[in-house]
């Protein structure tokens, strides 16, 4: 989702009294499965800027991973199908951060 769309969505939630507890940047980068090199595929920093603008933490960045959609379509999240994959690790870390934030509220 584009930064502008995310901002509009967050503002809508604010108007109806739904708190935004954090931000997750999806498709933030790509990790080559052959060499492990991280490549930024879109403009960088959009998630961080938006989190600052909304005054919420950036909970994490999820890399683009080709098989992620295949697993989701089959009803098996990447964190279960390939927990040690870059996306699986990122999502598990995001879930832990979110859990900590919610427990502290």
Q: Domain boundaries in the chain?
A: 3-104
16-35 burial, b if ≥16 CB within 10 A, otherwise e? Answer: eeeeeebbbbeebbbbeeee
Supply the pTM of this predicted model: 0.86
- pLDDT tens-place values along the chain, 105 residues long: 588 899 999 999 999 999 999 999 999 999 998 999 999 988 788 889 999 999 999 999 999 998 899 999 999 999 999 999 999 999 999 999 999 999 998
Alpha helix (H) residue ranges in the chain: 3-15, 46-54, 68-73, 78-81, 86-104
Q: Which CATH class is domain 3-104?
A: alpha beta
Strands 30-31 and 38-39: antiparallel
């Amino acid at each position: 989702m584009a930064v502008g769309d995310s901002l509009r969505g967050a503002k809508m939630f604010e108007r109806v009294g739904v708190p935004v507890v954090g931000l997750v940047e999806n498709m933030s980068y790509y990790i080559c499965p052959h060499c492990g090199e991280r490549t930024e595929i879109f403009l960088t920093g959009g998630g961080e800027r938006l989190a600052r603008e909304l005054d919420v933490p950036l909970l994490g960045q999820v890399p683009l991973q080709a098989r992620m959609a295949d697993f989701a379509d089959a009803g098996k999240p990447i964190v279960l199908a390939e927990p040690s994959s870059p996306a699986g690790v990122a999502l598990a870390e995001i879930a832990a951060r979110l859990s900590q934030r919610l427990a502290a509220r």
